[in-house]
Amino acid sequence: MSETVIKCESVYKIFGENAKKMLEESNGNVDAKTFQEKGCIVGVNNASFEVAKGEMLVVMGLSGSGKSTLLRCISRLTDATGGKIFIEGQDLLELNNKELIELRRNKMGMVFQSFALLPHKTVVENIAFPLQIKGTNTEDSINRAMEMVKLVGLDGRENYFPRELSGGQQQRVGIARSLAVEPDIWFLDEPFSALDPLIRKEMQDEFLRLQEKLQKTIMFITHDFDEALKLADRIAIMKDGIIEQLDTPAKIVLNPATEYVRKFTEEVPREKVLIIEDVMDASSKDNLGDLKVSKDEIIENVAEKILTQEKLVGVVDSNNNIVGSIKPSKIIDTVFGGRKNGS
Amino acid sequence: MEYLKKYPKLFQWLFLLIVFFALCFAIDVPETYKFIRGQAEFVKDPNQSVYFFLGKEVRYYAFDVFWRLPPLLGWLPIWINDSLFFLMNEWMPMEFWNEDTQEFKTRPLLLEISRNLTSFMTFLIELIREILLGGLETIVAFTSWDFIDAYPWLELPGLPWTIVAAGAAILSYKLSGKGLALFAGLTMIYISIFGQWKPSMQTLSFILVAAPLSFIFGLGLGIAAYKSKRVEKALYPILLVMQTMPQYAVLVPALVLFGVGDHAAVIITMVVAVPPMILLTILGLRAIPPEVIEAGRMSGCTNWQLMFKVLIPTARRDILIGVNQVIMVCFSMAVISAFIGAKGLGFNLLLALNQLNIGLALEAGLCISLIAILLDKMSLAWANKQTDYFGNLSFYQRNKNVIFFAASFVIGIILAYVGTFIFKGSFNYLFEIPHNKGISTADFWNKGVDWIFDTFFVYIKAFNTWLIQDVLQPMRALYLRMPAVATLVLAVGAGYLIGGIRSALVVAALTLFIALSPWWDRALVTLYMATFGVVISCLIGFTVGTLCFQNKKSAAFMLGVCDIFQTFPSFVYLIPVMMLFGITDTSVLIAVIVYATIPATRYTIEGLRSVPVGLHEAATMSGVNKFQRLTKIEFPLAFPHMMLGLNQTIVFALFMVIIGAFIGTEDLGQYILKALSDKNGAGIGLTLGICVAFIGLIFDNLIRTWVEKRKKHLGIA
């Protein structure tokens, strides 16, 4: 894995008056219930993880699971109660106000669930806002904002006010604004949750297209498991402030760590998530048939071809070396069988 | 028994009323009791009781405590007065450097502060006034009288009215467009050719100082309260009282602290205009979605940038309502502060009203209203202004407004110069049309009033007599007939039934303050007039509001009408009623009714509008007809909001009743007016003002508590 951009070491966020003191006394064993009895609410409980450069980490959880709080700790919109957060090796909690503002002006961009556009500014003014805050002159900032308008496909609407735009269009403005300063780190807090399903799908595709082009380091918050599977390099599933499991989509679907995670994976169409490598048998490489498939193919795309075979199908890597094999019956197992017994 | 269980509240209320009336009948009017008409009756009566407190002598007529409580707070006005004098004239003497005599002089701190504030305000007002009208005070302020004697040409000549009119039109065009420009131009021309130029510009210079200062202070304090809970807690009670305090009442203390003149008027206007600005600023800032604030932070805003580039613009809607309020208060104070020597339209208006010259009063009132509307619209347009980044405008296009103004400036001066030849020996009408030398329609109006009076005298008089003799007098007598204990029981009981112990205690404290002041009878008269006004206003307002709501267009139209009526300074309402009913209680009450109907109507329409569309559809699908929908669904849901309207109606009515003292009433307002010309009036005026404010606050507390409960009950909090 390449260099680490975001690093969290047992981050806690506890709301309440004596939160800090209580956390110190608990020696890192935070139990939500005992804390609640004493009037404190646990938002984030012992979160440790790393996000690498160019990686997209999706944090998934239901409402109240602490996912937004975690994001706000890392963007330091709220101060974490305990633990350490490093952004490109810099200790975030040690930064003074001025350094923090510098960091946000140059390194971070954030997109919000309810768009959070400034109602008194037009599309282009909204997008130019972070630049103008930085001190860029009007002409340069407006020119740069116009580039962003084109990037998110809002040309011709640059002089509209947010209230004159649809939800999807407003979020395009939000995305453009967060990208205007060319940040390295991109935070997205349920950006598509307030949108209609059709628009949401469109925006997700658009988002993937953008990410392919920009290769940002991303933390993406969602409550939609399907969205997480579709977008994520890795998924962190949160419940009651605790990260239940953090892994690639395929591994989560194949090996849910807890009962809670398994419930989410039950309804997931595996053939759309898993790749051949996840289900192949790496030990047997003999008696192969004629058909060979790449280990990186998603099962859905090759299932039909494999199912027509009677012999074992060879699995190859990118250099065309055989790395394993797969039985046609294994495909049927994966798609239909495995669901009931949860393996 | 079944009914008792079904409607427990109803029976509690019934019980309260029974106790109230029982007390009323049980306690007889003492034989010696009479309504005290004037303070003169008070002074030399040997039958009075006397007590001393804090070294102050309080004289009063003693009655049975059940009938009237003794004025145990009677020392308060005197004490406030003495304290003010002490603070002004004796407290903290310090050495101050005197520029004129070139030596140190000992002066009390507060006096020195007051003097400095005064000269600063006077300077600001004079500066603007002299740009508009000409003069030499400003130049003198920077130099000296000797200097101006040596160079007399330095005296500012003032702008010809043509230039000011053109400037107003061009500025309006830049801010909003042709419509407003036309309105601005016509307003200015009207003012000029009707000979109101000088007083109008005097008023304008007063407003142009008072309004921005009020805005800045209000915004600043609002921000401080938003940022710090402690500041908010300290400000809140003051704001609450100031909201219901009649503007008259603050005049008197200002008189003591700052003397007579425009500067005192500006300061007092700020005292009145800042509280609503603070409240609306807090309201607006509180309503900002947290994500917008986070978006600002993530854009890398410093605290300063966050406040001025994100928070305030986002809260713009409420802050603009605040600006609108500030402007309205400034204009109504422009009239009221004429009592303490502010020059301008207000002074002319009062003078004309005093002389019963309705025509002149009407013209001055119209000027005030027009300027008020103009400034209101201009401030609104300014806040909504947009920048065009992509126009690729030429130099001419970008600067055309400046060029036009420069051109009209030159033309205006040429015209004024030419005018000196045309109007040789008389007034230069192209420079400034002197007061009362313009066209005047006053005669026409006065004749009209006379004609109305002559023609309808019999009917008006009959109506007047009937109203006063058969309605108002008995009602007033009834109010005065209430024993103090019965009133207290009623008020506290209502507080308890509506809001529990907490409300009961608040109401008890407020009522007791009034009951223990020397003016309980006066407060009852104020209450009776306000009650009459409020009842009729609500009947009219709720009916009109409901009727107008039936149709979208008429509802919008009515709200527009309410907006315009609200722009008129409150004094203007006295003009037409005096036209018709002369100097009687009827006039005051009709002015009260007209004025207080505005909020009643507005809140009715708004309340009915706020009923969710889904419910409408659900009702329609259940097959209700229009009338059923109104009574079963819309009224119950809109009722809490309509009650807030009632609250506003009461405040408006109280304001007008107090202002009505100018026509001549026998309520608290009369004493406030008297306090203005009393050298010991400051304490009296302030205490009276607090009494009026407390009457308002009693109702405010009851209604708000009820509305909150009701809203929670209906789930629309």
Of A238, A268, A298, the residue that ends a domain is A268
Residue A214 within any structural domain of the chain:
yes
Residue A200 within any structural domain of the chain:
yes
> Residues A200, A98: one domain?
yes
List the one residue out of B63, B40, B62, B42 whose CA is nearest residue B51.
B62
Average pLDDT over chain A, rounded to an integer: 86
For residue range B572-617, list pLDDT tens digits in order.
Answer: 788 778 777 777 788 889 999 999 999 999 999 988 888 887 887 8
Cα separation of A221 and B485, whole Å? Answer: 65
Q: Is the pLDDT of residue B541 over 90?
A: yes
> Residues A89, A191: one domain?
yes
Q: Is the pLDDT of residue B96 over 80?
A: no
Of B154, B175, B192, the residue that ends a domain is B154
Backbone φ and ψ for B264, nearest 5 degrees, come out as -60, -40
Task: State which amino acid sits at residue B212.
Answer: P
B239 or B394: which leads in pLDDT:
B239
Number of H helices, E strands in chain B: 32, 4
Contact between B356 and B348 under an 8 Å Cβ cutoff? The reply is no
Give contacts of A104 with chain B, Cβ < 8 Å. 297-300
Asked if the Cβ–Cβ distance from B294 to A112 is below 8 Å, we say yes
Q: Give me the residue from A117, A134, A158 closest to B300, CB to CB.
A: A134
Over B186-205, what HEC string results?
Answer: HHHHHHHHCCCHHHHHHHHH
Residue A343 confidence (pLDDT): 40
For residue range A290-327, list pLDDT tens digits in order.
Answer: 788 888 888 888 888 888 888 888 888 888 888 888 88
Give the other-Cβ count within 10 Å of B13's Cβ.
15
Q: Give me the residue from A72, A118, A181 closest to B292, CB to CB.
A: A118
> Residues A80, A10: one domain?
yes
Q: Which of residues 178-217 of B touch A (CB under 8 A)?
A: none
List the one residue out of A77, A33, A50 whose CA is nearest residue A240.
A33
- Ramachandran area for residue A218 (φ above 0: left; ψ -120 to 50: alpha; else beta): beta
Task: State which amino acid sits at residue A126.
Answer: N
> Residues B679, B534: one domain?
yes
Indicate the number of domains in chain B: 3
B292 to chain A: closest CA residue: A116
Give the other-Cβ count within 10 Å of A271's Cβ.
17
Find the CATH number of the domain harbouring B258.
1.10.3720.10
> Residues A212, A100: one domain?
yes
Residue B534 confidence (pLDDT): 95
Residue B197 within any structural domain of the chain:
no
**How close is the nearest chain B Cα to the Cα of A125, in Å?**
10
**How close is the nearest chain B Cα to the Cα of A248, in Å?**
29
Cα separation of B418 and B431, whole Å? Answer: 10
Residue A341 confidence (pLDDT): 45
Q: Give me the residue from B289, B300, B316 closest to A116, CB to CB.
A: B289
Residue A166 within any structural domain of the chain:
no
Residue B508 within any structural domain of the chain:
no
Cα angle at B471 between B467 and B477, to 5 degrees? 130
Cα separation of B357 and B367, whole Å? Answer: 16
Q: What is the mean pLDDT of residues B297-303?
A: 90
Give contacts of B310 with chain A, Cβ < 8 Å. 118
Say if residue A205 is exposed, middle or buried (CB neighbours under 10 Å; 0-12, 13-18, 19+): exposed
Residue B559 confidence (pLDDT): 87
Give residues with Cβ within 8 angstroms of B500, minimum separation 6: none
**How close is the nearest chain A Cα to the Cα of B97, in Å?**
44
Sign of CA dihedral B498, B504, B506, B510: positive
Contact between B123 and B141 under an 8 Å Cβ cutoff? The reply is yes
Give contacts of A101 with chain B, Cβ < 8 Å. 300-302
Structure-block tokens of residue B305: 């940038």
Residue A71 confidence (pLDDT): 92
List the one residue out of B289, B697, B683, B315 whose CA is nearest residue B495.
B697
CA distances in angstroms from B256 to B84, B86, B110, B209, B343, listed in the order given: 8, 11, 12, 22, 19
> Residues A101, A33: one domain?
yes
For residue range A138-155, list pLDDT tens digits in order.
Answer: 889 999 999 989 888 888
Give contacts of B309 with chain A, Cβ < 8 Å. 129, 133
Contact between A80 and A43 under an 8 Å Cβ cutoff? The reply is no
Q: Is the pLDDT of residue B673 over 90?
A: no
Residue B1 confidence (pLDDT): 66
Residue B425 within any structural domain of the chain:
no
Domain range spanning residue A241? 4-107+183-268
Task: State which amino acid sits at residue B125.
Answer: I
Cα separation of A303 and A292, whole Å? Answer: 12
For residue range B152-204, list pLDDT tens digits in order.
Answer: 666 667 778 888 888 888 888 888 888 889 999 999 988 888 888 888 888 88
Q: Is the pLDDT of residue B40 over 70?
A: no
E-only strand ranges, B27-177: 49-53, 56-60, 93-98, 103-108
Residue B74 within any structural domain of the chain:
no
Give contacts of A142 with chain B, Cβ < 8 Å. 389
Residue B150 within any structural domain of the chain:
yes
Indicate the number of domains in chain A: 2
Structure-block tokens of residue B157: 């000549």
Find the CATH number of the domain harbouring A309.
3.90.1280.20
> Residues A10, A90: one domain?
yes
Quick check: A136 contacting B, CB < 8 Å?
no
> Residues A200, A82: one domain?
yes
Asked if the Cβ–Cβ distance from B295 to A110 is below 8 Å, we say yes
Residue A286 within any structural domain of the chain:
yes
DSSP-derived secondary structure letter, B135: B
Q: Give me the residue from A119, A124, A129 closest to B299, CB to CB.
A: A129
> Residues A288, A299: one domain?
yes
Q: Is the pLDDT of residue B660 over 80?
A: yes
> Residues B215, B123: one domain?
no
Of A268, A301, A330, the residue that ends a domain is A268
3-class secondary structure, A209: helix
Quick check: A157 contacting B, CB < 8 Å?
no
Give the other-Cβ count within 10 Å of B38's Cβ.
11
Residue B257 within any structural domain of the chain:
yes
**How close is the nearest chain A Cα to the Cα of B216, in Å?**
21
A–B CB contacts, 8 A cutoff, strictly below: 69
Q: Is the pLDDT of residue A53 over 80?
A: yes
Cα separation of A299 and A277, whole Å? Answer: 9
> Residues B126, B215: one domain?
no
Structure-block tokens of residue A279: 């289900």
Q: Which of residues 369-408 of B touch A (CB under 8 A)?
A: 386-387, 389-390
Element (H, E) at A316: strand A312-316
Q: Give me the residue from A104, A117, A158 closest to B300, CB to CB.
A: A104
Question: Best interface-test mutation with B: which of A101, A120, A127 has the largest number of B CBs within 10 A?
Answer: A120
Q: Give me the residue from A113, A130, A158 closest to B299, CB to CB.
A: A130
Cα separation of B595 and B649, whole Å? Answer: 9
Question: Helices (DSSP H) in B143-246: which residue ranges?
Answer: 145-150, 161-175, 178-193, 197-227, 229-244
3-class secondary structure, B51: strand
Backbone φ and ψ for B199, nearest 5 degrees, come out as -60, -35
Q: Is the pLDDT of residue B44 over 70?
A: no
> Residues B707, B562: one domain?
yes
Backbone φ and ψ for A45, nearest 5 degrees, come out as -120, 105
> Residues B211, B150: one domain?
no
Task: State which amino acid sits at residue B618.
Answer: A
Give contacts of B316 with chain A, Cβ < 8 Å. 119-120
Q: Is the pLDDT of residue B75 over 70?
A: yes
Cα angle at B588 between B358 and B582, to 5 degrees? 40
> Residues B150, B223: one domain?
no
Quick check: A143 contacting B, CB < 8 Å?
no
Give residues with Cβ within 8 angstroms of B458, minimum separation 6: none
Contact between B175 and B152 under an 8 Å Cβ cutoff? The reply is no
Contact between B598 and B565 under an 8 Å Cβ cutoff? The reply is yes
Give residues with Cβ within 8 angstroms of B466, minimum separation 6: none
Give residues with Cβ within 8 angstroms of A118, minimum separation 6: A125, A126, A129, A162, B292, B295, B310, B313, B314
Residue A48 within any structural domain of the chain:
yes
> Residues A93, A211: one domain?
yes
Contact between B438 and B194 under an 8 Å Cβ cutoff? The reply is yes
Q: What is the mean pLDDT of residues B501-509?
A: 92
Q: What is the mean pLDDT of residues A123-136?
A: 91
Length of chain B: 717
Domain range spanning residue B119? 93-154
Of A268, A289, A318, the residue that ends a domain is A268
**How close is the nearest chain B Cα to the Cα of A158, in Å?**
10
Using the CB atoms, write b or e for A130-143: b if 16+ within 10 Å: bbbbbebeeeebbe
For chain A, give the longest Cα–Cα distance: 70
Give contacts of A121 with chain B, Cβ < 8 Å. 313
Cα separation of A294 and A321, whole Å? Answer: 10
Find the CATH number of the domain harbouring A53.
3.40.50.300
> Residues A20, A100: one domain?
yes
Give contacts of A118 with chain B, Cβ < 8 Å. 292, 295, 310, 313-314
> Residues A17, A103: one domain?
yes
A103 to chain B: closest CA residue: B300
Q: Is the pLDDT of residue B618 over 80?
A: yes
B385 to chain A: closest CA residue: A120
Residue B490 within any structural domain of the chain:
no
> Residues B119, B265: one domain?
no
Radius of gyration of chain A (CA): 23
Of B331, B358, B385, the residue that ends a domain is B358
**How close is the nearest chain A Cα to the Cα of B302, in Å?**
7
Give contacts of B389 with chain A, Cβ < 8 Å. 124, 138, 142
Strand ranges across the sheet with A242-247: A108-111, A185-189, A217-222, A56-60, A234-239, A242-247
Residue A157 within any structural domain of the chain:
no
Q: Which of residues 241-300 of B touch A (CB under 8 A)?
A: 289, 291-292, 294-295, 297-300
List the one residue out of B4, B28, B6, B26 whose CA is nearest residue B15.
B4
For residue range B109-148, list pLDDT tens digits in order.
Answer: 888 888 888 888 888 888 888 887 777 676 666 666 677 6
Contact between B592 and B656 under an 8 Å Cβ cutoff? The reply is yes
CA distances in angstroms from B429 to B128, B151, B339, B368, B421, listed in the order given: 22, 27, 31, 22, 11
B312 to chain A: closest CA residue: A120
Give contacts of A134 with chain B, Cβ < 8 Å. 300
Q: pLDDT over 70 for what percent of chain B?
A: 92
Q: pLDDT over 90 for what percent of chain B?
A: 20
DSSP B399-438: HHHHHHHHHHHHHHHHHHHHHHHHTTTS--TTT-PPTT-S
Residue A50 pairs with which residues in a beta bridge?
A7
> Residues A195, A313: one domain?
no
List the one residue out of B589, B594, B573, B581 whose CA is nearest residue B530.
B589
Of B358, B388, B419, the residue that ends a domain is B358
Question: Best interface-test mutation with B: which of A73, A75, A77, A158 has the largest number of B CBs within 10 A?
Answer: A77
Asked if the Cβ–Cβ distance from A159 to B310 is below 8 Å, we say no
Residue A324 pairs with which residues in a beta bridge?
A315
Backbone φ and ψ for A61, nearest 5 degrees, come out as -175, 160
B288 to chain A: closest CA residue: A116
Residue B367 within any structural domain of the chain:
no
Residue B698 confidence (pLDDT): 93
Q: What pTM value is reported for the model? A: 0.83
Q: Give me the residue from B292, B300, B387 closest to A116, CB to CB.
A: B292
Cα atoms in the 13 Å half-sphere on the side-chain side of B562: 23
